[in-house]
């Protein structure tokens, strides 16, 4: 039953989240994955391991797709958990307090529920299919701002084209921001802290939970042409409150990515 899994996931994220919170001052050992920009710490691996161990113990026949330790190529099945143990690893590695845990549960590749926990602020964003989105115990909705000039728009990676986009947003919105954590940036759209998040070349584990949380909060998720997408289409994503979606797509499309 997905409901039982949701209750289990809530408790698990709270438990492992409070451990991550306690690690605030612990020394991070940084290693590199594919290149010097692709960081991982011992805690990314340990946190993932704890999730995997707990899920396997409770639901041994479920599938687990996760960022680290060779679990990133796993094919989804009828019951699949998708884990990003720490999203915003570079921030975490430096002690910058913008990072989170992202855990989602999918059935036949469709999102059923998602959880995003920010240890520094003790905020747990969650959503269950057709049940709305929550921040801790309170229901959340995307913001009602409908004017770019009054909006905060966050963007993802720092490629050259993203810098051009940043410049363009600088001229057209109240404040563009680059925060370094796709999951939390999306959750911020769901909570109405910002109006949109523009993601580029993401992976399913970055946004598996965010996708359902933003939608359940009344937001819109599309590619950069404005077409509704599944969470698996992670190349060019736009998460927004839905009120300036077209204008944002037009702005993004003036840049040659
Ligand atoms: C990264 C962050 C970042 C995004 C990258 C992701 P990680 O995830 O979400 O904001 O721009 O594409 O890989 O490595 O910190 O889990
Ligand atoms: Ca990530
Ligand atoms: Ca990660």
Q: How far is the CA of 201 from the centre of ligand 2 (A)?
A: 11
Q: How far is the CA of 86 from the centre of ligand 1 (A)?
A: 9
Residue 87 among known ligand-binding residues = yes
Q: Which atom of ligand 1 is nearest to the CA of 202?
A: 12
- Closest CA relative to residue 184, chosen from 84, 93, 68, 255: 84
Lowest mean pLDDT among 155-159, 201-205, 252-256: 155-159
User: pTM here?
Assistant: 0.97
Q: d(Cα 235, Cα 99) in Å, to the nearest integer? A: 21
The reported pLDDT for the residue numbered 39 is 84
Q: Where in the chain is the domain with CATH 3.40.190.80?
A: 148-252
Name the residue at shortest CA distance from atom 2 of ligand 1.
181
Q: How many helices (DSSP H) and strands (DSSP E) are in the chain?
A: 7, 14
Looking at the CA of 179, name the nearest ligand: 1
- Closest CA relative to residue 47, chosen from 140, 126, 114, 119: 119
Residue 160 pLDDT level (bands cut at 50, 70, 90): confident
Q: In CATH terms, is domain 2-140 a member of 3.30.540.10?
A: yes
Model confidence pLDDT, tens digit, residues 96-125: 999 999 999 999 999 999 999 999 999 999
Is residue 127 within 8 A of residue 216, CB to CB? The reply is yes
The reported pLDDT for the residue numbered 161 is 83
Is residue 107 within 8 A of residue 212, CB to CB? The reply is no
What's the burial of 25, exposed, middle or buried (CB within 10 Å: 0-12/13-18/19+)?
A: exposed
- Closest CA relative to residue 91, chosen from 12, 6, 182, 154: 182
Q: In CATH terms, is domain 148-252 a member of 3.40.190.80?
A: yes
Q: Where in the chain is the domain with CATH 3.30.540.10?
A: 2-140
Looking at the CA of 48, name the nearest ligand: 3
């Amino acid at each position: 039953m997905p409901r039982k899994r949701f209750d289990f996931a809530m408790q698990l994220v709270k438990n492992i989240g409070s451990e991550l919170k306690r690690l605030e001052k612990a020394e991070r050992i940084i290693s590199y994955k594919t290149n010097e920009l692709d960081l991982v710490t011992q805690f990314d691996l340990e946190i993932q391991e704890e999730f995997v161990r707990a899920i396997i113990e409770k639901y041994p026949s479920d599938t687990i797709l996760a960022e680290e330790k060779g679990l990133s190529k796993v094919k989804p099945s009828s019951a699949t958990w998708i884990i990003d143990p720490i999203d915003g690893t570079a921030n975490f590695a430096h002690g910058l307090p913008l990072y989170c845990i992202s855990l989602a549960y999918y059935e036949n590749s469709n999102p059923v529920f998602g959880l995003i926990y920010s240890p520094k602020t003790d905020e747990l964003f969650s959503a269950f299919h057709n049940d709305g989105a929550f921040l801790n115990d309170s229901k959340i909705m995307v913001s009602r701002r409908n004017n770019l000039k009054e909006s905060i728009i966050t963007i993802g990676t720092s490629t050259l084209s993203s810098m051009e986009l940043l410049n363009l947003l600088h001229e057209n919105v109240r404040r563009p921001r680059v925060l370094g954590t796709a999951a939390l940036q999306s959750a911020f759209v769901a909570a109405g802290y910002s109006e949109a998040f523009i993601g580029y070349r993401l992976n399913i584990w970055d946004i598996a939970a965010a996708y359902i949380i933003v939608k359940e909060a009344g937001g819109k998720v599309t590619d950069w042409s404005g077409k509704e997408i599944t969470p698996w289409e992670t190349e060019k994503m736009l998460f927004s409150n839905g009120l300036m979606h077209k204008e944002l797509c037009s702005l993004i499309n003036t840049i040659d990515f």
